[in-house]
Amino acid sequence: MSSIGRGLVLFVAAALGDGSADLEYLAQKTAHLRLFPGDDDRFARSLLEVGGTALVVSQFTLYAQTRKGRRPSFTEAAPPDVAEPLIAAFCERLEALGLRVGKGRFGAYMEVELCNDGPVTVLLDSADRQRSRRGQEPRAKDSG
């Protein structure tokens, strides 16, 4: 059983095609995103700056497709043999960045209890690094 004090609960899912670049992007974003209050600013400090902990809970159901039918489809989620090492590597990368990391058990039924301070809930998607910003043209990829 894992528990944390001040920090973030991270529900993490791996999608088909995710790899090391995706987990690096998400680890960096998680560690440095300013979600905690500072002296004057509501979102002024990062998880690293507040000395917080990340509790990582694997959650393939984040990729549920519910547009058709009455039963969710999880075809976008990476299979367990791919997702488990990716989520473990994500945790290792967070630790390498200097964060303390609590972990759920991959594939296990877990009762997760959390207290939102805010509440603030943010969705991070590694596919966002490929998308253009609003009103900007997409960047051309280097060919060399």
- Give the residue numbers marked as catalytic: 59-61
Tokens 């995103």 locate to 33
Spatial contact of 48 and 8, defined as CB atoms under 8 Å apart: no
Spatial contact of 106 and 2, defined as CB atoms under 8 Å apart: no
Spatial contact of 53 and 5, defined as CB atoms under 8 Å apart: yes
DSSP 8-state class, residue 15:
B
DSSP 8-state class, residue 73:
B
CA 21 to CA 117: how far, in whole Å? 31
